[in-house]
């Protein structure tokens, strides 16, 4: 490049054209005249006054991190004195929004001839951008996938999102080097089974996106099976060193969206659905499942809004619990309810898992506990031995401060600890060191512990031994089946006998008919709860219905 034959402005125009052909930003500068020129995209990205400007060394200070700015001045000085012919500088710039962007500036000095100025030319690379291709798998990245998918409208074919299940667990167990070897095995298996009309792109984190121009559901499953079998066969030769599992979600052309971003969302959903399948590894996108999923996201957003706005839409209902021997009201269970302008009354079976998934169960659980304690204190003025039960989710139990919060709320409201009954449900893994620690704290503070939905899980007798509960609540499903199944009826009998033998009380839940009550009464439980005695109702209705009549 000689300045005696090439005009500086022409070079700038050349830079702009070149910038449209590559991912990096290109630039040219005159260190003596202190002039800097780059592409329009770079000037806009970093808030430069123009794509070409003078007094450059000072203007750079306006969008360059102050700690890195001295390195730039040193570099300019070296180019001026011709001490170096090239340089590579990694430093921090600020974009026009004020965000820090790590960049790599590679530059080379072109010495002027026939009295022309020396010029510095180079590229600016954003280090945080994802690579366009992956060195481990040999496949191009998602940027290339988006470009490929946008080439034209496809009316046939499919996209598969194939992934390694529990990739992070494998990284912890085997280390990055071994996992990269495993990814190489999978990549080769994919490459060996792709047809001419199929391409694979690597998304990172053990995720592969396979794009096929043609094929139906049978073809897609066949491809997945071939890839899996090939990879497993290679792994078999190494004595199953990695023990990986492949899962796959597929979206067919009939479900493609108008833009690639929304289509990728469907692919991500399909893969997520496949991850949770118990007996299958391959899932084909179904719009009904996707709509249900999107509705759950909207419901979570609505509940987030409710929490931020004074728990609007949430309420606490109370269901009575009766002493089986005296037939009198002795306690109640606090139960969460939610009503939305958009979704109406939403079943607790729907909202509780979503609250646990989103973490909203933490503030909601605290709010329910506060309301229940306040209400119990009020009703104890009429019934000194009245108690209230509150459910604790496994998500709440994973928080180390939960027990102190409970004790603080009880103390702040002036309620005696004995009046609180904490109910552990079998959702999640409740039998762990933290839960056992909490169970001891509960007992040590004279708070009662109940195991809710007893019989719905698989380790109940172990729970009795490890958690030393005060009460178990037998699940409604047993009660419903006990009327016409002798096995279930005998099972309830044995559960009650075992519980009583180790001084544990039994509450039978879900009693809905007189016939059920008469059958269960013969088994001598301690407490009754169910629609036959009363449905969960707001506190005012509970008070009007049950308090005056005692």
pLDDT tens digits for 316-372? 999 999 999 999 999 999 999 999 989 999 999 999 999 999 999 999 999 999 999
State the pLDDT at residue 21: 65
How many whole angstroms separate alpha carbon 242 and alpha carbon 174? 8
Instruction: Supply the pLDDT for residue 191.
Output: 93
pLDDT at 454 over 90: no
The sheet with strand 246-252 has its strands ordered as: 198-204, 207-212, 158-164, 246-252, 282-284
| Among 121, 115, 123, 215, residue whose Cα is nearest residue 160 | 215
pLDDT-based confidence at 201, cuts 50/70/90? very high
pLDDT band at 61 (very low <50, low <70, confident <90, very high): very high
Name the helix (H) or strand (E) containing 360: none
pLDDT confidence of residue 129: 59
SS (H, E, C) 420-432: EEEEECCCCCCCC
In degrees and rounded to multiples of 5, residue 277 shows phi and psi of -70, 140
| CATH superfamily, domain at 310-546 | EAL domain (3.20.20.450)
Spatial strand order in the sheet of 25-30: 52-53, 35-38, 25-30, 119-126, 100-110, 86-94
The CA distance from 143 to 205, in Å, is 16
Whether the CB-CB separation of 56 and 71 falls below 8 Å is answered with: no
User: pLDDT-based confidence at 37, cuts 50/70/90?
Assistant: very high
Q: What confidence score (pLDDT) does residue 3 get?
A: 43
| C-alpha–C-alpha distance, residues 515 and 454, integer Å | 22
Residue ranges per structural domain of the chain: 8-126, 142-285, 310-546
Residue 360 to residue 343: CA distance in whole angstroms: 18
Name, of 23-27, 79-83, 241-245, 320-324, the range with top average pLDDT: 320-324
pLDDT at 145: 84
- CATH code at 142-285: 3.30.70.270
Burial label, 108 (beta-carbon count in 10 A; 0-12, 13-18, 19+):
middle
Residue indicated by tokens 């009583």? 500
* Residues 27/36, Cβ–Cβ less than 8 Å: yes
Residue 337: per-residue pLDDT = 97
Cβ 42 vs Cβ 23: under 8 Å: no
- Mean pLDDT across the stretch 138-161? 80
Query: 234-284 pLDDT, tens per residue?
Result: 887 766 577 789 999 999 999 998 888 889 999 999 999 998 887 789 999
pLDDT score at 188: 93
The confidence band for 114, taking pLDDT boundaries of 50, 70 and 90, is low
pLDDT, residue 189, reads: 95
pLDDT of 535 strictly over 50 = yes
C-alpha R_g of the chain: 34
End-to-end alpha carbon distance in the chain: 100
CA distances from 444 to 398, 410, 471 (A): 20, 15, 16
Distance CA 550, CA 548 (A): 6
Q: What is the mean pLDDT of residues 179-208?
A: 92
Q: Residue 294: what are its φ and ψ, rounded to 5°?
A: -65, -35
**pLDDT over 60 (residue 460):** no
> Do residues 421 and 448 lie in contact, with contact meaning Cβ atoms separated by under 8 Å?
yes
Element (H, E) at 22: none
pLDDT at residue 310 above 90?
yes
| Residue 144 in this model has a pLDDT that exceeds 70 | yes
Instruction: For residue 164, give the nearest of 235, 214, 66 by alpha carbon.
Output: 235
Residue holding tokens 């899932």?
A: 283
Output the pLDDT for position 133.
65
Query: pLDDT-derived band of residue 458, with 50, 70 and 90 as boundaries?
Result: very low
Distance between CA atoms of 419 and 219, rounded to whole angstroms? 63
Share of the chain above pLDDT 70, in %: 89
Query: Which one, of 467, 462, 461, 524, lies nearest residue 497 by Cα?
Result: 524
pLDDT average, residue stretch 437-448: 89
Residue 82 pLDDT level (bands cut at 50, 70, 90): confident
pLDDT at position 426, please?
A: 57
Q: Tokens 């039978």 label which residue?
A: 508
As given in the structure block, the two tokens for residue 15 are: 């830079």
Q: What share of the chain is helix, strand, coil (3-state, %, to 5)?
A: 45, 25, 35
Distance CA 339, CA 357 (A): 19
Mean confidence (pLDDT) of the chain: 87
Question: What is the rounded distance in angstroms from the CA atom of residue 330 to the CA atom of residue 465?
Answer: 26
How wide is the angle at C-alpha 81 spanned by C-alphas 76 and 82, nearest 5°? 90
- Read off the pLDDT band of 4 (50, 70, 90): very low
**Average pLDDT rounded to a whole number, residues 380-394:** 91
Top mean pLDDT of 435-444, 447-456, 539-548 is at: 539-548
- Residue holding tokens 């994919």? 190
pLDDT at 209 over 90: yes
Tokens, residue 184: 């190489």
Domain 8-126 top-level CATH class: alpha beta
Q: What percent of the chain has pLDDT over 90?
A: 54
pLDDT of residue 5: 39
pLDDT for 177 = 87
Coil, helix or strand at residue 147: helix
Same topology, domains 8-126 and 142-285? Answer is no
CA distance 287 to 165: 24
Residue 130 has pLDDT above 70, yes or no: no
């Amino acid at each position: 490049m000689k300045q005696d034959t090439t005009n500086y402005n022409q070079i700038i125009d050349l830079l702009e054209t070149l910038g449209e052909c590559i991912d990096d930003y290109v630039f040219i500068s005159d260190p003596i005249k202190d002039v800097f020129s780059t592409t329009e995209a770079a000037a806009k990205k970093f808030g430069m006054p123009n794509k070409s400007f003078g007094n450059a060394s000072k203007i750079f200070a306006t969008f360059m991190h102050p700690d890195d700015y001295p390195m730039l001045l040193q570099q300019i000085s070296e180019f001026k004195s011709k001490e170096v012919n090239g340089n590579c500088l990694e430093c921090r710039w600020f974009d026009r929004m004020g965000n820090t962007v790590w960049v790599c500036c590679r530059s080379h000095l072109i010495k002027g001839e026939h009295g022309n100025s020396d010029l510095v030319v180079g590229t600016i690379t954003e280090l945080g951008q994802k690579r366009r291709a992956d060195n481990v798998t040999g496949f191009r990245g998602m940027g290339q996938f988006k470009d490929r998918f946008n080439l034209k409208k496809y009316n046939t074919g499919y996209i598969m999102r194939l992934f390694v299940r529990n990739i992070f667990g494998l990284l912890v167990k085997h280390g990055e080097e071994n996992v990269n070897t495993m990814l190489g095995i999978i990549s080769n298996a994919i490459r060996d089974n792709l047809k001419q009309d199929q391409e694979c792109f690597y998304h990172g984190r053990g995720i592969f996106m396979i794009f096929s121009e043609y094929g139906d559901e049978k073809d897609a499953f066949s491809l997945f099976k071939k890839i899996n079998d090939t990879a497993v066969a290679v792994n078999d030769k190494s004595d199953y060193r990695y023990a990986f599992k492949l899962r796959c979600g597929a979206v067919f052309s009939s479900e493609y969206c108008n833009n690639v971003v929304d289509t990728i969302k469907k692919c991500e959903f399909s893969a997520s659905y496949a991850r949770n399948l118990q007996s299958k590894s391959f899932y084909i996108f179904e719009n009904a499942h996707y709509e249900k999923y999107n509705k759950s996201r909207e419901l979570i957003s609505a509940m987030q809004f409710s929490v931020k706005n004074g728990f609007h839409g949430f309420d606490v209902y109370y269901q009575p619990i009766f002493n089986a021997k005296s037939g009198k009201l002795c306690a109640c269970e606090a139960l969460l309810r939610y009503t939305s302008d958009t979704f109406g009354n939403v079943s607790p079976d729907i909202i509780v898992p979503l609250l646990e998934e989103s973490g909203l169960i933490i503030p909601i659980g605290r709010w329910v506990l506060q309301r229940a304690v306040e209400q119990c204190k009020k009703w104890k003025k009429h019934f000194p031995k009245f108690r209230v039960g509150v459910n604790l989710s496994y998500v709440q139990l994973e928080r180390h401060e939960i027990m102190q919060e409970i004790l603080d709320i009880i103390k702040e409201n002036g309620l005696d600890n004995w009046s609180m009954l904490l109910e552990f449900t079998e959702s999640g893994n409740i039998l762990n060191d933290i839960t056992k620690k909490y169970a001891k704290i509960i007992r040590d503070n004279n708070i009662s512990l109940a195991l809710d939905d007893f019989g719905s899980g698989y380790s109940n007798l172990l729970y009795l031994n490890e958690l030393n509960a005060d009460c178990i609540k037998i699940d409604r499903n047993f009660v419903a089946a006990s009327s016409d199944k002798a096995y279930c009826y005998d099972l309830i009998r044995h559960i009650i006998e075992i519980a009583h033998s180790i001084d544990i009380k039994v509450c039978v839940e879900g009693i809905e008919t007189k016939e059920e009550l008469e059958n269960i009464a013969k088994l001598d439980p301690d407490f009754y709860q169910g629609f036959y005695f009363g449905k969960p109702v707001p506190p005012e209705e509970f008070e009007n219905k049950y308090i005056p009549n005692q």
